Amino acid sequence: MSPGGSTASTIRQHPGQCAPVHVNAEVGMRQWTREEREEVLGLVLEGMAEGVTLQETVEREQRRLSAREPERYPGKLTPGLVRGWLWLDEEWFRRYQRAKALLGQAYADEAVVTARESTSQTTAMDRVRIETLKWAAAKANPVEFGEKQTVEHQGSQTLQVKIVEEEGTVRNVQALKAAESAALERAVVGSIAPSSNPVVQVKGP
């Protein structure tokens, strides 16, 4: 809260967005200590490595906190609240982006297991599940599972192009002329009539 009682806000520009995003700095920051926030964020990242979404982890943790120590955490833990924490903390946001790659791998593994365990009775349902997992894997980890693969390299590289003249066309023309001469010679020999005064008839091409 600001000295005048108004809610403080932070404006953060996300790469690729035209307009800045307003994030309420009071959301989750006033009632939760840094240690508590980092504990929740750590659970989220661990869950992502196992194929558990942020929402599933947060909802599970909220149920646990409500059942154990509801008075200790007066603010309700929600997926939106945790995403706000990630957005406002550069380090945790970077870790979250890296964890998304593991989440994509977990989805891909789950799709493979589903395909292997599919039966004739579950084919239709499994097909929907596999397609959903493939889509989620591509969104979470587009470098490995996206339809358009991205190739990254570091450092400078030099490309040398050497142009070689192909002489095959010239050789082909020469061979063609030789074949035409042979054909003409055969035509001349074959056109000689069996008479005392043979007349040679040469037909043009």
Domain boundaries, the chain: 7-88, 101-148
- Cα 187 to Cα 175: distance, rounded to the nearest angstrom: 18
What are the mean pLDDT values of the chain's consecutive 10-residue runs (205 residues total)?
43 45 44 87 95 94 79 76 94 96 95 94 94 94 79 57 51 64 65 51 52
Q: What residues have CB less than 8 Å from 199, skipping those under 6 apart?
A: 193
* pLDDT value of residue 158: 60
**Res 201: pLDDT:** 52
Alpha carbons within 13 A on the beta-carbon side of 191: 12
Output the pTM of the full model.
Answer: 0.56
Q: Residue 83 has what pLDDT?
A: 95
Give residue 188's pLDDT: 57
